[in-house]
Amino acid sequence: MNTLTRLAAALSLPAVLALAPATPVLAQTSMKISISVAQNSHQGIGIDTFAKEVEKRTAGRYKVQTFYSGSLGGERESIEAVQLGTQELTFTSTGPVPNFVPEARILDIPFLFRDKAHARAVLDGPIGQDMLKAFEPKGFKALAWGENGVRHMTNSKRAVNSPDDLKGLKMRTMENPVHVAAYKGFGIITTPMAFPEVFTALQQGTVDGQENPLSVIMAAKFDQVQKHLSLTGHVYSPAIFLMNKASFDKLSAADQAAFIEAAKEAVKANRARVDEDDAKGVAELRSKGMQVVENVDKAKFQAALTPVYAQFEQQFGKANIDKIRNFR
């Protein structure tokens, strides 16, 4: 290298140093979140919004990877994984939750809520917020209540206008003891089953029917394997953002707040999609060939559960049930 070359190199060195970043790039921590239904669904928009909000609110230091359609397992498996810490996050219906947090069972009582507005008010108010704390001793940080929706019944055998029409139908139920007890009260032959198995079970005739919100029925394409839909509206189905408690506890206070706020924003998007699906769902499913019974006598369905309600009052306490029922 001659003298001129050495001089040019020396003069260019400050310019190179000036271009170098002034602060080191912060390492990015990656986390996983899963749902058991498709990305194009009320739960999909929930976790997509959550992931975007976490990245934004933590300036990219945390990235949430999203998994759909039960690719990491069904709801029960994902909750177990979060509890064990092999997966950081999940967004799940409350179907399998009572197996982990028994206090949540009360929310799955049929006809407990007047409508979605009532349910949302309960979950966002003191009753729901107190219940979130019950998850912590079990290894979870419950970030926020979301929504799965109001559940209706489908089957491949016959139109369901009254509880008598349900007798003898073999129906897939969630892995939830409250649901199983109630549906047996209708005379249904209950078959608890993880959600990723349901479409095939319906297709093969292993079960005659299932029950889910319109959002799930559409996202799962159950119209391809079910002929009849009845708008029974028998259960309001909450959903919940769960995080491994040890993972949450490792976050700074500011990042903890960011995750909670991200979950709240995700819930807004999730509930808005449920409302949209409920508004258009019947027409869309009819256009795909489903026969829909819209005007169901809900009083008859409630009357059929009178003996089961007596069990629930013993189990949960009438005062606790009434506190939710009468919340304004």
Whole-Å CA distances, 274 to 40, 120, 149, 210: 12, 12, 6, 19
- Amino acid occupying residue 37: V
**pTM of the shown model:** 0.89
pLDDT of residue 175: 87
Contacts 24+ apart (CB under 8 A), 313-318: 315/105, 316/105, 316/106, 316/109
For a pLDDT cut of 90, what percent of the chain falls above it? Answer: 91
Whole-Å CA distances, 316 to 159, 208, 320, 322: 33, 31, 7, 10
Q: Of 27 and 305, which is predicted with more confidence? A: 305
| 261 pLDDT tier (thresholds 50, 70, 90) | very high
Instruction: Read off the pLDDT of residues 270-307 as tens digits, 9 standing for 90 and up.
Output: 999 999 999 999 999 999 999 999 999 999 999 999 99
pLDDT above 90 (res 90):
yes
CB burial readout 149-188, b (16+ within 10 A) else e? bbbbbbbbeeebeebebbeebbbbbbbbbbbbbbbebbeb
Q: What is d(CA 94, CA 237) in angstroms, rounded to the nearest whole number?
A: 7
pLDDT above 60 (res 102):
yes
Q: What is d(CA 25, CA 48) in angstroms, rounded to the nearest whole number?
A: 25
For 297: left if phi > 0, alpha if psi spans -120 to 50, otherwise beta; the answer is beta
- Amino acid occupying residue 201: A
162 CB-near residues (< 8 Å, 6+ apart): 296, 297, 300, 301
pLDDT of residue 7: 43
| 2 pLDDT tier (thresholds 50, 70, 90) | low
Full set of structural domains in the chain with CATH = 26-325 (3.40.190.170)
How is residue 253 written in tokens? Answer: 């206070």
pLDDT above 50 (res 99):
yes
Pairing of strands 62-67, 209-213: unpaired
pLDDT above 50 (res 201):
yes
pLDDT of residue 303: 96
Backbone φ and ψ for 245, nearest 5 degrees, come out as -65, -40
Q: Are 286 and 163 spatial neighbours (Cβ–Cβ below 8 Å)?
A: no
pLDDT above 90 (res 10):
no
pLDDT of residue 98: 94
Q: Are 141 and 242 spatial neighbours (Cβ–Cβ below 8 Å)?
A: yes
For a pLDDT cut of 70, what percent of the chain falls above it? Answer: 92
Give the chain's largest Cα–Cα span.
100
| 46 pLDDT tier (thresholds 50, 70, 90) | very high
Looking at every residue in the chain, the average pLDDT score rounds to: 93
Per DSSP, the three-state class of 234 is strand
pLDDT above 90 (res 26):
no
| 27 pLDDT tier (thresholds 50, 70, 90) | confident
Instruction: Report DSSP state, residue 196.
Output: G
Comparing 15-24, 127-136, 269-278, the range with the smallest average pLDDT is 15-24
Q: What is d(CA 191, CA 205) in angstroms, rounded to the nearest whole number?
A: 12
Per DSSP, the three-state class of 203 is helix
pLDDT above 50 (res 171):
yes
pLDDT of residue 1: 52
| 82 pLDDT tier (thresholds 50, 70, 90) | very high
